[in-house]
Amino acid sequence: MKFRIDNLQYCNWSRDIFQINREANLDAVHVTIVYHEDFDEFIQRTKEWNKFFEENSDLIFLGKNFDDIEKANKEKKTAIFFGFQNCSPIEDNIALVEKVHQHGCRFMQLTYNNQSLLATGCYEKNDSGVTNFGRETIKEMNRVGIVIDMSHSAEKSTFDAIDISEKPIAITHANPLFWHKALRNKSNELLKILAGSGGMLGLSLYPHHLKNGSNCTLESFCEMTAKTAEIMGVQNIGIGSDLCINHPDSVVEWMRNGTWSKSKKFGEGSQNKPGFPNQPDWFLDARGFDNIEKGLKKIGFNEDEVGGILGNNWYNFYKKIL
């Protein structure tokens, strides 16, 4: 079977977007359900999603296991897998790892840019790696079946997580550093170790992670994909578009600042460009998967390889972990 999976979206959810994702033939989407929320606020988000599932049951349902991807494909729906961009919903409590899993969480970043109780984020000056509580949490995430996601983590912390975790981990949405210098992008060495441990990289379509930002060309993206495949092996690469459609700029401000700072931080943006950047014209939304498919074929990937990158590699990863 051939699956299409976008392994990271954080949109301002609506029926329109669920329809677009179906038009893009997405069998599964890993959606960010929280950034800085605590446990109670996470539960609130799941209630909001219950309403989405009820009102859009012809388009989406909550995904829990890998076979929900097969089910979605058969029923022409999109399985929605919940993920956290920060570990704040487990607060300082190891028992909440199992609780968040029971409420649908299947991916959790150990950090979001800053230091967390578990590990160091990529915006900190120094990286002390995975903490005492982090080691306990990774063990528990392995046990209950939540994927460790290190997209926003610093490098030593990521190496530690790969080393400590008994199951392969993921970088759901980032690009290689060799292509575009950004705190969020990853070194060749890290990508090799990640791939060697069976881990996955989801290539990002978020302009701050792209060479030339919003003006990045499809050709450049596909060349980067080809070089990344040489480094990691094509079977360890997927898409994690990081699409943030229809949000007001106040949302990216909140993503960056949470409640931790009295002065405004601009993260990957700047004082002059504080808001969400424009998507490149060949990936305005998930329907851009078709363009990527063409681009990857053009650059020389065969049918199987393209299918792997656009979804089957993530499917195989889900099958191993979930």
Nearest CB to a second copy, comparing residues 79 and 110? 110
Pairing of strands 237-239, 5-9: unpaired
Nearest CB to a second copy, comparing residues 165 and 175? 165
* Closest approach of a second copy to the CB of residue 260, in Å: 4
* Closest approach of a second copy to the CB of residue 92, in Å: 6
Nearest CB to a second copy, comparing residues 11 and 118? 118
* Closest approach of a second copy to the CB of residue 204, in Å: 23
Nearest CB to a second copy, comparing residues 214 and 260? 260
Identify the bridge partners of residue 32 per DSSP, sorted by sequence position.
Answer: 83
- DSSP secondary structure string, 208-271? GGSTTGGG--HHHHHHHHHHHHHHH-GGGEEE---B-TT--HHHHHHHHHTTT-SS---TTS-S
Contacts with a second copy by CB under 8 A lie at: 36, 38, 88, 91-95, 114-117, 120, 123-129, 131-134, 136, 139-140, 258-263
Kindly give, in sequence order, each residue whose CB lies less than 8 Å from that of residue 311, ignoring residues fewer than 6 positions away. 2, 3, 4, 5, 27, 28, 238, 239
Q: Which long-range contacts (CB under 8 A, 24 or more apart) does 263-272 make?
A: 267/113, 267/123, 268/182, 268/183, 268/184, 268/208, 268/209, 269/208
- The amino acid sitting at 235 is Q
* Closest approach of a second copy to the CB of residue 108, in Å: 16
* Closest approach of a second copy to the CB of residue 283, in Å: 31
| Token pair of 168 as six digits | 């392969």
Nearest CB to a second copy, comparing residues 93 and 215? 93
Nearest CB to a second copy, comparing residues 155 and 290? 155
* Closest approach of a second copy to the CB of residue 137, in Å: 8
- What are the strands, taking DSSP E only, across the chain? 5-9, 28-34, 60-62, 78-84, 105-109, 147-149, 170-171, 200-203, 237-239
- Classified as helix, coil or strand, 159 is helix
Count of beta carbons in the 10 Å neighbourhood of residue 247: 15
- The amino acid sitting at 212 is N
Q: How far apart are CA 53 and CA 29, in angstroms?
A: 14
* Closest approach of a second copy to the CB of residue 113, in Å: 8
Nearest CB to a second copy, comparing residues 17 and 154? 154
